Chain A
Amino acid sequence: MSTLNDDVAMLRKVPLFESVDPSKLKLIAYTSTQLVFDDGEEVFSQGSNGTSAYLIVRGETEIISESSGKPVVVAVHGTNALFGEISAFCDVPRTATVRARGQLTVLELKRENLMELIREFPEVSVEVIRELAKRLALTTTDLASVLDAKAS
């Protein structure tokens, strides 16, 4: 069984929480719940409403897109990967289905706890904003290159 300190160490490796103060990370870890899924069990399904983000403690997940009607595995995440964080910050349905590949242990970070943490320690939000902005920049670059490729 992992201890709180193990969880903190893992959270620190996640870019989103990288620069958040370790004592706050401990609070995040404490307020989050460990969940175990067996092989093939769904963590959540595409289109469902959910408000939690998940961090993989052990095992692997398949990210499955069902947009084209037929389920397609679009990615496989391993230890230390964070998923579901978009729904954790804003009200959008899950954009993909996530399923355990082999036994999977995750840390569930609930939106209300994350929000409460930000409310109590506004400095955390700065870090989160920085990270999200970084991602937006990346996505914009990606979009631009896709549009370029399409145009040419």
Chain B
Amino acid sequence: MERKLLKYIWRHSKSQQLWIFVIVLAAMPVYFLMLQLPKLIVNGPIQGAGFDTPEATQPFLALDLPFGELLTGQSITLFNGFELDRLMMLIMLAVCFLVAVFANGYFKLYINTFKGQLGEKLLRRLRYELFDRVLRYPVAKVRRVKPSEISSVIKDEVEPLGLFFGDAFSIPVFLGAQAITGMTFLFLQNTLFGVITLGIVLFQAWLIPLLRRRLLELGRQRQAAARRLSGRIGEYVQGMDDVHLHDASNRARSQIWEMLRGILAIRFELYQRKFFVKFINNFLIQFLAFLFYLLGGYLVITGRMDLGALVASIAAYKDLPAPIKGIIDWDQQRLMNQIRYEQAVDDFASTKVFPNSRQHVEDQPPGKITKGFDLHGISVLDSSDQPVFESITNSIAHNEAVAIVGGTDSGAEQVAEVLARLLDVQAGKVLLDDNELEHLPESQTGRRIGYADSSTYFAGGTFKSVLAETLPFEGDPVPIISDLSSSADFRKFETRITVKRNAKDPTLNIDTEPAASWPDAEIWPRLQLVMKSAGLYNDVLEYGMLRRLGTMEEESIRESLLDARRDFANDTSNVQLNGAVEFFDPDKYSLQLTVGENLIFGTPMNETFEPENLPANPLMRTILDEAGLLAELFNMGLEIATNNVELFGDLTEDSLLLQRSGGPSAEKLSAMKLAVDRLSGTSAADASDEDITAMLALTLDYSEAQARFGLLDEALQERLLKVREKIRETLEAQGNNAVAFLDPEHFNSSLTVLDNILFGRIDPRRIGARDRVMRAIKALLDARGISETVFRVGLSFELGIGGSNLSNGQAQKLKVARALLKGPDILVLNRVLSALDSEERLGIIRDILAMGYDGTARDMGVICVPLDSDQLDQFDRVVLMDNGHITADDTPDKVAGRLEAADG
């Protein structure tokens, strides 16, 4: 990677830099014209130069051959121009001025936009290049760096460079040209002043870098300190558990405070120095003016110089400070950015990365592994250069099931990591099918070798996305950056850099989810098999049962679910369930549900039908009123309040009994007390609207099964059912979808798959009924052939950040499933499934060993570093390791004796 910033910029934006140069050049005449025209307007039409008589005219747009006089001795007129009178001239010149202003503005707009685009594109390239290198870092290195520092470099540290990229070359060239012109002009006017000025400028050129040395050092420190801060904050956020567990928040505060204080000190000194340098600059430039006046004045007074020459010199000098100041500022920018760049890329550039070829996209799918691993005297050292294992030589065939057995410091785990290329060997050679492992492309090893250990980290996404991401990338891959890659390679990945107004952030649309059609028919059987072997099938099925069907699911699935619902409702064979489930029946009042739930009898799809808004819902009020129930429900609310006050009134406000009973909260209770005192004896007709709503809220939230106050007799239930019917009729007549009604004959997409089949409530009084219901429904899903569909729905379960929605056991099973899904030729299992009990773990390993084993030959080799040292007879061969050496290597029965001896 290029370490010099200007070289980097030049190499990757040569043509654009030249283009900026051309455009700036083209803009010059227009700029000049814009300055020139006001003078022409004032001198010509306004002050009347050349318009001596009212009828006088002057040529407009007359054109002489440039340098004609110089070449031929007389001026050659190419175009005589239009003769215009004074007023017309004013108008035309003013219009020309306007055009010049516009053109000048447009040039500026174009140049700035172009510079901006250039800067941003180069910034994108730089960031991409840095990340590309991270992808090719050795694994051991990645494990040592702090993630937040890497992202801080890629995201923040290089950001200011974007502003500099566009100015990197155009500014010094133009300001330099201006400064040289000014100097030349000055020399022409007066050599003495020219020499003095040059002397001061050279003095500046010597002094400033001297003053800046410390400035640059500070810039470096500032960047390093900011990066450390970012890393430390990242660590604290990741280890927030420990902060709380060990009361470490104050330590964290003081550490971060110290770091912030340090950064402030650096930044403050930086400011002081920066402005001091500026001060010196300005002073030196103005010192020139002082010399001009003093020395020039002296020379004029003493008659050694005429006044005209002095005025001309001062006028020439006037144009000098601005470009010189500009160049000095630019140089400052350049140095700061050079440091920023160096610091940012330093670690990236000095880390030895894998060659591109290791990750190149191969045209051909990788071939099957036909022989296996050969290890020739390999050794691995740990971070303190102590050997983890030494001179291990062995061969593992591609169709063999081998257990590498050993304790934590035996080196067995590291051998597995070497085979998976997570660890580099310091000595010896690892061959895969006679090729050196380190030279093989990752497309070969990554697809033909499966690896799982006991880590539980997932970046997030769903079951579906984390499973799909282990399969070959099928898109068109963006090329890997190398010294040879040119912008042409990236051209087809360019889209016009435009963001529509009001459009969403374009980076939001980057979808990590695989296509909706995934898993397709090709991978589907394998996916199911793999999830079953890894012991995850049932978990995913249950997640599927707790999800709602998306809109994409076909009608036929809904029909099957409805069939399953009927089967479940009519299942009389399962007497165990009798009475445990109360089915949703539109013609029956459910005592398990609240009054409100009974009235709308469905899922609110609109917030006005949410339980808390129901009492004030106008439709509800009207219908209740029409049914003559408003007064009755008002009284019922009052009665509920009275009952609650009676029950809990004597309890203290912070009473545990009150909190634990599932009764009203202390605030609600006191509100009820007030209501009872105020409203007893009042009828709904006399009550205020607010009171009616409050009492209705109590009533609608009342569930007979829960509170058992005995307030709902059969007659009232009947009348409430009428209201239920009426609400549904009214909403349906209005075509209003505010409520998804519970209808035994229709699929309800607002309910989960489970609830759609169950279509009722499990009686909470029945302990253990839930398990029986789940079993019965799973059996029904199987019988109806829709388990697969539900399993597919379950694959969309969100794993959460870092996989936090999964248990450790589930996450580890998913790691194994991912390794299996690609259909590896050799599977490496490194202490997998540590979160499971030994019985379940051994069961899963047994299932995996049975995959692709027909009793005599395997088509998937398994290399396992097991957690359990029993049941080794499932393997073809056992390699025993101790302290970094192989101590036995034989069939399981022969090794068993040694193992027992070692254990004993």
Contacts and interface: CB of A to CB of B under 8 A. Distances in A.
Nearest to B767: A35
Contacts of B657: 27, 31, 113, 116-117, 120
B258 to A, nearest CB: 48
A37 B651 CA distance: 33
Interface of B is mostly: loop
Interface stretch (A2-10, A87-95, A144-152): A2-10
Given A1-B704, A26-B647, A35 B710 contact: no
B661 A30 contact: yes
Interface string A1-36: 111111100000000000000010011011101111
B576 A2 contact: no
Contact of B705 (A1, A38, A105): A1
Interface in B671-715: 704-705, 707-710
A131 interface: no
A41 interface: yes
B709 A116 contact: no
Contacts of A142: none
Contact of B661 (A7, A23, A37, A113): A113
B591 interface: yes
A103 B767 CA distance: 13
Contacts of B767: 35, 37
A7 B652 CA distance: 24
A35 B660 contact: no
B576 A38 contact: yes
A116 B656 CA distance: 7
A3 B591 CA distance: 12
B709 A4 contact: yes
B308 interface: no
B710 A34 contact: no
A132 to B, nearest CB: 21
A120 B653 CA distance: 12
Interface residues of B, number: 28
B708 A23 contact: no
A72 to B, nearest CB: 25
Nearest to A121: B650
Given A4-B709, A30-B663, A116-B656, A23 B651 contact: no
A23 B644 CA distance: 11
A120 B661 contact: no
A34 B765 contact: yes
Interface string A27-53: 101110111111001000000000000
B652 A31 contact: no
Contacts of B648: 27
Contact of B660 (A4, A29, A41, A116): A116
A120 B887 CA distance: 71
A4 B763 CA distance: 18
B763 A36 contact: yes
Interface string A95-136: 000000001010000001100110011000000000000000
A3 B765 CA distance: 15
A5 B707 CA distance: 11
B768 interface: yes
A73 to B, nearest CB: 22
Interface in B542-574: none
- The residue in B662, B710, B765 that gathers the most chain A C-beta atoms within 10 A of its C-beta is B765
Contacts of B708: 1-4, 7, 29-30
Given A1-B705, A7-B708, A41-B768, 19 more contacts: A1-B708, A2-B708, A4-B708, A4-B710, A23-B646, A23-B647, A23-B650, A27-B648, A27-B657, A27-B661, A31-B660, A35-B765, A35-B766, A36-B765, A37-B767, A38-B576, A103-B579, A113-B661, A121-B650
Interface of B: 576, 579-580, 591, 646-648, 650-652, 655-657, 660-663, 704-705, 707-710, 763, 765-768
Interface of A: 1-7, 23, 26-27, 29-31, 33-38, 41, 103, 105, 112-113, 116-117, 120-121
21 contacts: A1-B708, A2-B708, A3-B709, A4-B707, A4-B708, A4-B709, A5-B710, A23-B646, A23-B647, A27-B647, A29-B708, A30-B661, A31-B660, A33-B765, A34-B765, A37-B766, A37-B767, A41-B768, A103-B579, A113-B661, A120-B655
